[in-house]
């Protein structure tokens, strides 16, 4: 794990620790780091270079990207709609975005409907790459 990712992972672990007491929340390995899951679906994780990758509603992900607070996450050369990468340099925005992502995943897993993956309504919530 590179140093930038290691430092970002420490921040992520601290920021997500309070969620672990909630029903269905846990940590699991994701691309060489530890991600936050809810009911077996990934909410977010730290990717290479220390970038936080989160699942948000498509409209919110687009707004974060358009506002310069994040970048698209690509899978197979295509940008995903619901996954957004937020640099460690923007760590001040992480707590609110993690909260939004957790709430979004909570709504998805509670209803049992809605998009579960980067570009479909039936795929796993884990993106193929980050």
**Closest to 72 measured CA to CA, from 13, 26, 130, 19:** 130
The pair of three-digit structure tokens given for residue 1, joined into one six-digit string: 């794990």
Instruction: Quickly state the pLDDT bin for 30 (edges 50, 70, 90).
Output: confident
Question: 73-128: per-residue pLDDT in tens?
Answer: 998 999 999 999 999 999 999 999 999 999 999 999 886 654 443 333 333 444 44
Looking at residue 22, its pLDDT comes to 95
d(CA 47, CA 5): 7
> What pLDDT score does 130 carry?
52
* Cα 41 → chain centroid: 10
39 pLDDT exceeds 80? yes
One DSSP character per residue, 33-73 reads EEEEEETTEEEEEE-GGG-EEEE--HHHHHHHHHTTS-EEE
Q: Which CATH architecture has domain 3-111?
A: Alpha-Beta Complex (3.90)
- Does pTM surpass 0.75? yes
Query: Where are the domains positioned within the chain?
Result: 3-111
pLDDT score of 66 more than 80: yes
Q: What is the pLDDT of residues 46-60, one digit of tens each?
A: 999 999 999 999 999
Q: Does residue 69 carry a pLDDT above 80?
A: yes
pLDDT at 57: 98
């Amino acid at each position: 794990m590179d140093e930038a990712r290691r430092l970002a992972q420490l921040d992520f672990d601290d920021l997500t620790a309070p969620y672990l007491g909630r029903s269905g929340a846990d940590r699991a390995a994701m691309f060489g780091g530890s991600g936050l899951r809810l009911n077996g679906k990934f909410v977010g994780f730290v990717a290479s270079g220390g970038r936080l990758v989160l699942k948000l509603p498509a409209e919110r992900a687009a707004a974060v990207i358009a506002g310069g607070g994040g970048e698209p996450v690509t899978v197979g050369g295509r940008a995903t709609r619901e996954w957004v990468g937020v640099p460690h340099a923007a760590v001040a925005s992480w707590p609110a975005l993690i909260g939004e992502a957790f709430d979004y995943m909570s709504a998805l897993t509670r209803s049992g409907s809605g998009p579960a993956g980067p570009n479909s309504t039936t795929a796993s919530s884990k993106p193929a790459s980050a």
